[in-house]
Amino acid sequence: MFDDRTQKRTFYSAPQSVTSLVAAFLEPTITVLVFVFANQFVDEPIGRPQLTLCLLVFALTFPGPNRFRDNLLSAAVDIVSSWVALLFILALCAYATRSFYLFEDGALLQWALITPAVQWLACWAGQQVHRRLNARPEARRKAVVVGAGPLGVKVSRALIAAKEEGVEFVGFFDDRTDDRVQDSAIMKRLGGLSNVLSYVSEHGVREVYITLPLGSQPRIVELLEQVQGTTASLFFVPDVFGISIIQGRLQDMSGIPVVGICETPFTGTNDLIKRVSDIVLASLILVLISPVLVAIAIGVRLSSPGPVVFKQTRNGLAGEEIVVYKFRSMKAQDNGPVVRQATRNDPRITPFGAFIRRTSLDELPQFFNVLQGRMSIVGPRPHAVAHNEEYRRLIKAYMVRHKVKPGITGWAQVNGHRGETDTIEKMQARVEYDLEYLRNWSLVFDLQIIARTVRLVFFDRKAY
């Protein structure tokens, strides 16, 4: 309801509940069925390993995303990227459990190649059916907007964009003169507030969106009382577009509607999914990289005197202080009220330390932080406490990034914002990506970030 995507979803989610339900089951079901057919094609019987894999895949992909409104090219890119991320996770699981031999290579190859193509075809077919259903006259829903200000125009654009979903935007109602309303709304004005009731009744308007400012409360109350005498659905759109919304949602508090402005995405089931995925992935990764951990520990010990693992205080969930582990990469380490960031050619960094910092291998001990529950695999990178105290005063909404656990990698890091933040603009850019992650979190999004991080370990040169 607060950004364009959420707004679009709110406007017509109720009439499209069946479509959303179909989409939730479509991708997981297709993925499992293609796997079964691939095994049948190579005459491989479906035994316990195959059934176990089917259950695992269904659990990881349910609920499937609703792509019936997406551009087909965007849908194809999203399908392929999500599928590659899922295959990467499954390959890690198979390697860790030494279970590759339980499956027929030919069946796995066919499954890997055919599944995204079938998913895209299903997306295309679903879009055709979706459009046909919404094109029916009985599916059309006339909508009007009360208030021709900037917020009203924004709502009208979202309604126009929802045309293929059965929404037909008719026009605006506003008592103000032309010089006090938006230019783009003048030609679509249908009258003043006193005309709303008669127009809604006579023209079969199904949805009324009220975008009047909160200062117009008496008029809003009067209008609500009038329109409630019709069968039209009423929506009040609060003017919160000037605020950075994080996981905006409407909640019920003992019968009192409460608008959430800044929330964590990890509540209820999402919190459980996030924690379980962290434990499973961190455990698998630690098993796989245990020889690497030993080799790095030896390298650190031989590179310079001092401890192998360095412990530094960071701010974690809700801003609470946590202890974060890293392989020591410097001759001296700062953990006091003043912490100097590492710079290019920093004399404190050892030659071996430069290597493990550039490849992010110094961060590997943080998988133990994940198992402890202090961190997550994906999330905003934790900054030194001293840096937090500095930047929270300089950057708007900086501390919102602490509404989730800090991560070993994050959306900002895979978009080039890692390494030194020597200007306020660089830190601002990093924070903006962190907030975008909070707005758009999903398990698939986490897997995509993990896959991109693996590539950056070998090719990124911004860390030092």
How confident is the prediction for the chain on average, in pLDDT? Answer: 81
- Tell me the pLDDT tens digit for each residue of 21-72: 787 888 899 999 999 999 989 888 888 888 988 888 888 888 888 887 777 8
- Tell me which CATH code domain 140-242 carries: 3.40.50.720
The pLDDT of 410-420, averaged and rounded, is 82
Distance from chain centroid for Cα 324: 25
Q: Which residues contact 370 (CB under 8 A, 6 or more apart)?
A: 278, 279, 282, 376, 377, 408
- Tell me the pLDDT tens digit for each residue of 280-294: 999 999 999 999 999
Q: Which residues contact 462 (CB under 8 A, 6 or more apart)?
A: 416, 418, 419
On whether the CB atoms of residues 51 and 59 are closer than 8 A, the answer is: no
Encoding tokens for residue 48?
A: 């316990």
Please tell me the distance from the alpha carbon of residue 53 to that of residue 49, in angstroms, as a whole number. 6
- Tell me the pLDDT tens digit for each residue of 183-212: 888 889 998 988 898 899 888 888 899 888
Please tell me the distance from the alpha carbon of residue 210 to that of residue 224, in angstroms, as a whole number. 9
pLDDT band, very low/low/confident/very high, at 182 (cuts 50, 70, 90):
confident
For strands 309-315 and 321-327, give the pairing.
antiparallel
- Tell me the pLDDT tens digit for each residue of 262-279: 778 887 778 888 998 899
Please tell me the distance from the alpha carbon of residue 168 to that of residue 164, in angstroms, as a whole number. 9
Please tell me the distance from the alpha carbon of residue 214 to that of residue 357, in angstroms, as a whole number. 52
pLDDT band, very low/low/confident/very high, at 298 (cuts 50, 70, 90):
very high
What is residue 2's predicted lDDT score, i.e. its pLDDT?
39
**What's the pTM value of the predicted model, to 2 decimals?**
0.57
What is residue 455's predicted lDDT score, i.e. its pLDDT?
76
For strands 256-260 and 249-253, give the pairing.
antiparallel
Please tell me the distance from the alpha carbon of residue 353 to that of residue 332, in angstroms, as a whole number. 12
- 170's enclosing H/E stretch is strand 167-173
Domain locations in the chain? Answer: 4-135, 140-242, 269-459
pLDDT band, very low/low/confident/very high, at 222 (cuts 50, 70, 90):
confident
* Number of CB atoms found within 10 A of residue 424's CB: 12
Please tell me the distance from the alpha carbon of residue 103 to that of residue 96, in angstroms, as a whole number. 15
More confident residue, 210 or 358: 210
What is residue 190's predicted lDDT score, i.e. its pLDDT?
92
CA angle 342, 366, 288 (to 5 degrees): 120
